[in-house]
């Protein structure tokens, strides 16, 4: 995450030189710390709210899901996460939270109704692996900081073109050009970093989840069903797409979504799982 902070501070430093005002840099540094604090403590609540997730407050509400997650947690040596069900027909799930003691797993109603026991177990083991590997913290902070960089870069790019003080800008022509280039390229760079993190962590969670269940075919079969499932996701959002086990946009992905894919190809994931010898 230090790379995100470097990008944010670099943008602040460039624009502080352009406008001859060091206060801008201090604002950037302060803003980055505040947003990191918010993303650390509240990103899980934001993701669950955006997904309209409904909490499972006790075993009695859904003993099937509760018992399966509880058994996997005992095997993995992890504390029991909070459980949520998302009223969507698409087969999908995600994990969120800042650490294993403050984690949550959300599964769609479609996953509960369409997957067989071993398939659902594979999906849940995948999400528990994200928790155990602390991927959920890395991913949630990555998406928040990528958004911050995009917002700040856009704000100062607009200031560059609309603010007055031509004389001062002429005296800082080099920094002006660097600032414009940074404001344009920084959001793209931040997004690519976020996506690279997401894709790498998906492969790791697949492998770790397969080791947890000792049955890679369960997750592989679930991924095949996910790939064939054409059900739309009403709560699909670019802000949370990287959290799901599979991209929620499915076949409706535009050219831009395909260019900035948050997940590795499902075919490749299935091939790797079926090549594992456990």
252-262 pLDDT tens trace: 555 555 555 66
Cβ atoms 11, 156 nearer than 8 A: yes
Q: Which residues pair with 56 in a beta bridge?
A: 83
Q: Which residue has the higher pLDDT, 98 or 148?
A: 98
Kindly give the residue spans of alpha helices, DSSP state H, lying in the chain: 2-18, 23-50, 63-76, 109-114, 117-132, 135-162, 166-171, 173-213, 216-228, 255-259, 266-274
pLDDT tier at 204 (50, 70, 90 boundaries)?
very high
Closest to 78 in 3D by CA, of 44, 50, 109, 101: 101
3-state secondary structure of 236: coil
Residue 66, Cβ density class (10 Å: 0-12 exposed, 13-18 middle, ≥19 buried): middle
**How far is C-alpha 220 from the geometric centre of its chain's CA atoms?**
22
pLDDT of residue 113 exceeding 60, the answer is yes
How many domains, in total, are found in the chain?
A: 1
In the prediction, which pLDDT does 266 show? 93
Closest to 194 in 3D by CA, of 228, 143, 133: 143
**From CA 142, how far away is CA 82, in angstroms rounded?**
22
In the prediction, which pLDDT does 250 show? 73
For the record, the structure tokens of 187 come out as 């959001």
**Domain ranges, residue 217:** 2-274
Please work out, in degrees rounded to the nearest 5, the angle formed at the alpha carbon of residue 18 by the alpha carbons of 149 and 181.
50
**From CA 264, how far away is CA 26, in angstroms rounded?**
38
For a pLDDT cut of 70, what percent of the chain falls above it?
A: 64
As a whole number, mean pLDDT of residues 30-48 equals: 78
**From CA 246, how far away is CA 262, in angstroms rounded?**
9
**Of the spans 2-6, 116-120, 155-159, 182-186, which averages the highest pLDDT?**
116-120
**From CA 236, how far away is CA 241, in angstroms rounded?**
7
Max distance between CA atoms of the chain, in angstroms, equals: 71
**From CA 68, how far away is CA 72, in angstroms rounded?**
6
pLDDT tier at 164 (50, 70, 90 boundaries)?
very low
Closest to 146 in 3D by CA, of 156, 138, 158, 135: 138
**From CA 67, how far away is CA 83, in angstroms rounded?**
11
Q: What is the pLDDT of residues 46-91, one digit of tens each?
A: 889 999 999 999 999 999 999 999 999 999 999 999 999 999 999 9
**From CA 29, how far away is CA 36, in angstroms rounded?**
11
The catalytic residues are: 127
């Amino acid at each position: 995450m230090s790379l995100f902070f470097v990008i944010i501070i670099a943008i602040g430093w460039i624009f502080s030189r352009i406008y001859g005002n060091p206060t801008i840099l201090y604002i950037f540094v302060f803003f980055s710390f505040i947003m990191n604090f918010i993303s650390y403590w509240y990103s899980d609540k934001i993701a669950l709210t955006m997904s309209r997730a409904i909490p499972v407050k006790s075993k009695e509400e859904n003993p099937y899901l509760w018992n399966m997650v509880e058994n996997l947690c005992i095997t993995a040596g992890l504390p029991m996460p909070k459980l949520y069900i998302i009223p969507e027909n698409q087969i999908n799930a995600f994990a969120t939270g800042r650490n294993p003691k403050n984690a949550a797993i959300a599964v769609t109603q479609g996953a509960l109704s369409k997957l067989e026991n071993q398939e659902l177990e594979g999906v849940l083991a995948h999400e528990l692996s994200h928790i155990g590997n602390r991927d959920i913290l890395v991913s949630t902070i990555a998406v928040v900081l990528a958004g911050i960089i995009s917002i700040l870069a856009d704000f100062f790019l607009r200031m560059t073109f609309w603010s007055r003080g031509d004389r001062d800008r002429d005296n800082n022509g080099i920094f002006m050009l660097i600032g414009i280039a940074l404001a344009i390229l920084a959001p793209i760079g931040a997004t690519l970093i976020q996506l690279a993190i997401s894709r790498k962590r998906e492969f790791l969670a697949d492998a770790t989840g397969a080791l947890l269940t000792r049955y890679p075919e369960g997750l592989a079969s679930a991924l095949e069903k996910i790939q064939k499932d054409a059900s739309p996701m009403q709560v699909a959002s670019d802000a949370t797409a990287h959290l799901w086990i599979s991209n929620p946009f499915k076949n409706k992905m535009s050219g831009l979504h395909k260019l900035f894919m948050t997940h590795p190809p499902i075919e490749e994931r299935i091939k790797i799982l079926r090549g594992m010898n456990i």
